[in-house]
Structure 1
Amino acid sequence: MRLRFALAAALPALVSLAAMALLADRLARRALEDELSARLTAAAQAAASALPAERVARLEPGEERTRTYGHVRARLDVLARSTGTRLYVIRPDRTALADSDGRTRIGEPVAALERDRLEIAQAAAGRPVASQVMFEGSDGLLYKSGYAPLRDASDKVVAVVGADGTAASFATFRRFRRLLATLAVAGAVLGALVAAGASLSVTRPLTRLADGARRIGRGDLDTPLWPRRRRDELGMLRDTLEEMRKALRARDEERETLLAGIAHEVRNPLGALDLFAGILSEELEGRPEAAHVARIRSELAALSKVVEEFLDYARTRPPVREAVELGALLAEVAEIAAPLAAARQVSLGVKGSGEARADREQLRRALVNLVRNAVEASPAATEVELSVRAVGGEAVFEVRDRGAGLGPQARASLFRPFFTTKEKGTGLGLALAKKVADAHGGALALADREGGGTVARLAVPLAPPEPPEPR
C-alpha cells in the first residue's frame, strides 16, 4: 500500500515534470533552429545582392582560372568570413557555379544538396527559404542551410545562393538540455522523497490502526492505542477505534461481573445442596432410594462444573508467568481427564517436553478444556493424543482426536462464547482456551485431522513477548 500511495502521490508530479522538460526542450530547439534559419537566409540574401548575377550565370565548366570566376570567388570569400558561413552559388538543377572555399568545379552536380531539393526549388522560384533538415559535417558538427534567389537586372532568377552555417549555438543548447535532464532527475528524486515522506505519514498511522484493530479482534481490550498526536481524519479514526475498544472493554467487564455474580450466587446454594445430599446419601445407604440421591449428586456436580466454567471465563487477571515444565503439565492434564476418558473407553497418549515461562494454572485450564472436548468427541476404542514441542520460539500444544471433525456451523462459531453443539455444554470451553492463548500473546486454532478427527493447536511464546517500541 505504501508503494501504491507513493506512486499515486509522485506520478502526477513526475509526469508533469517530464512533460514540462520535454516541452522546454522542444521550444528551445525550435527557437534555436528558427534563429539559425533566419541568420542563414539573411546571409544568402546579402550574398545574392552583392554578386554580379549576369557574370555568375555565364560561368561555364573549365573557367575556374578566369578573372570572372576569381572575382566571384573573392567576393564570396569576403562575404563568407563576414557572416561566418560557407557561401556557394548553384543553378536550379543543383550543379555548382562557385563557392567560397573552392570545393566544387563549375557544372559539377552537388549530390549532398539532394536533401534540400524542395527548398532549392522554392528559392529558384524567387522565395528565400531555409532547409528543414540539419546535417552533420565532416567535423562532426550540425549544419543548416539557407537559400536565396540570385536575380539579374530584369529581376529574373538566374541562380540560387546557398549559405551553410554551423549550429554552434546548439552546443549551448546541448548543455542546456543536460542541465534540464539533471534538473528533471533531481526533481524526480525530490518528488519521490516527498511522496515517500507523505506516504509514510499516512501509512504508518494506518499500520498502527491495523495493529490495534487486530489486537481488538483477538480480544486484547486492555492495551490502549498510541497517544493521539494528529488532528486530521486519521486522528479521528484513531479516536473512534479507541472509543470502541473502551466500550467493548466496559461491556466485557459488565458481562464478566454479571457472570461472576450469578456464578457466586448459584455456587453457594449448590454447595449446601451437595452437603445435604451427602447426608441424605449416608442415611439412605443400602436402600433403593439411594440411587436417586446419587443421581441428584451427579447433576449437582455437573452444575458445579458449569458454574466453575462461568467463573473461569469471568476472571480477567493477566498471566502470572513462571517457569513451567511442559511435559509435566501435559501429564497432569491427562490425569485430570483420565476418569472421563475411561468412562468413554478412550485412551490418552502424552509425549513431548520443554519449558516455558507462562501462567501454569491458566494453561492447565485451557488444556483441560481442549482434552475434554476431544475425549467427548472421540468414539470408543480410539486414542486422544496430547503433545508439545518448541517451534520458532513458541511452545505448541496439540490435542488430536478421531471424532467427526469440524462441521460448517461449528467452524464459523468455534470461539464464540456460549456456542456449543453438546446437549449439556456451556459453550465456554474453547472461548476460555482462546482467551488464555490471547492473554499469553499466542493463538488457538482448530482444524480437521487427516484421516478423520480434529486437531486443536494452542501456541504460546516460550518467553514473554517484548513490549512494542514506541513509533
Structure 2
Amino acid sequence: MRSIPLRWRIIASLIGLALGTTLILALLARHFLALSLQTNVNLEMGSALTSALALAKENYDAKKRQLQDIGQLLSAPPHRDLNALHAAFADAGLDNLTLRVSPLEQIDTDLSQGPAVSKVENDQLQLVLALPDSQRALTALLSLEALISVKNAVHTYKHIEMAEGDLRTAFLLAFLVAAAGVVLLASVIGVRIGFGITRPLNALLKGTREMGRDNLQYRIPKGRNDEIGLLIESFNQMAQDLVENRRKRLEAEQIAAWREIARRLAHEIKNPLTPIQLAVQQMRDKYSGNDPAYQQFVTNCTEIVTEEVENLRSLVQEFANFARMPSLSLSPSDLNECVHNVIRLYPDAHIHLDLEENPPALELDTEQMRRVLINLIENSLDASGKNGQIEIRTRTSDDTATLSVIDSGPGVPLKDRVRIFQPYVSTKESGMGLGLAVVHNIIEDHGGHISVKDASMGGAQFDLQLPIPDRAIAQPEEQR
C-alpha cells in the first residue's frame, strides 16, 4: 500500500496542530466564560441584589420623609441662620447635604403648600422651603449615590442574565470564525512548507536516478540558501567529483595501457639493436677488397645504420622512461628555487621571470619538477624559435600555487588542447609525443592539474596548479 506523500502529511500535520491548539484554547475560554457567568448570574446573587434594591428604596422613602418633616420644622419660626440650619439637619442625621439660601423670586418651585421635596438631576433629592420672617428660600440637596449604585447593579445583572444565551452564541460563532481562519492559515503555510521541502527532494530524487543512468553531467538547479540548498550544492559537487574521478580513472587506465605498450616496445626494439649495429660494423671491418667505391659505399651504409640505431636507442629510452615512472619523493620545497635551478641550464634563452616573493612551501619531488620544467621550456623554445620570448610566472591563491610557462610561439590549436597531454600526441614533426604526457602524469601525481590556453604574447600558456598543503587541509575544515 502506497503511503501518503510527504507534502500532504506536512500539510495535514500543520492543520491538525492548528485545530488542536484552537480547540484547546476554545475549551479553556468556554470554561472560564461559564465559570464567570456562573459566578455573576445565580439565584443568590439575584436575590441579594433584589433585597439590596428594596432596602435602597426604603432608605430613599425614609430620606424623603425626613426631608419633609425637617422642612415643616424649619419653615416655622424662629428664624435661623445658615449655621443653625446645618446643625438642624445634622441633628436629624442628614449631614451629607448641600445648603443654599437664595431670594424667593429666584425660586421656581411652588411653596404655597409648604416645603416641597422632589428628585432632581444628578440623582439628588431637593428640599425647598421659605425661611420664616424672611424673603428668602432654603434649598437643600441630598445625594442618592448609594441608591443609584444598587439600582445600576440590578440593571447590569438583569442585562447579563438576559444576554447569557447571546454570549454563548457569540462565543461559538467567534470560535468557528477563528478556527476557519487558523485552518486556512495553516493550509497556506503547510502548502508552502510542504512544497518547499518536497520539490527540492524530488529534484534530488531525479538527480540520483540520473546518476544511476550514468548521466554524470546532470546538475540540480540552485536557488536556495538554506540547508536544502547546501544539500543540492553537495549533490552537484558530488556529481562533479564523480566526473573528475572517472576522468582520472580513465586517464590512469590509458596511461597504464600506454606504459605497458611502451615497456613491450622498448624491450622488443632494444634487444635486436646491438646485434644489428655489430653486424654492420663487422661487415665494414671484414671487407678486404680493393674497390674504393664499394668501400665508401659500405662505410656510408654502416654510418647510416649506426645513426639510425642510435636514434632508435633514444626512442627506446623515451619508451623506457615513460614505462617506469618513478614514485614521488615529496619534501617541502620552494617552487621559485626549482625554477631558478632549471633556468641556469638555458643561459642564452630569452626567458623572463615573474616570480611571486616569499611563496609558501610546497610538497614537491624536486627531480620530477625539474623534469617538468625542462620539458615545458624545451617545447617553448621549439615553438618560439631562436629569438622567441618565454615567461615563467608563479602566483598563489587561497589553497593553490600556479606555475605558468608562456611563450611567443604559434600556440596550441583549440581542438588539441585536451588530447595534447595524451601519450603519442604531438604537434611537432619530430618526437614521440611523450613529453607532455609525462608532465601531465607528474603534476597529477602531485595532486595538481595542468591546462593550456592562449597566451597574451600570442603563443601558448601552460598553467600548472599545485596544492598548498596547510591551506588545502584547512579549507574543508573552515567550510564545515
TM-score (norm 1): 0.48
Report the structure, 1 or 2, having the larger helix content.
2
Q: Which has the larger radius of gyration?
A: 2
TM-score (norm 2): 0.47
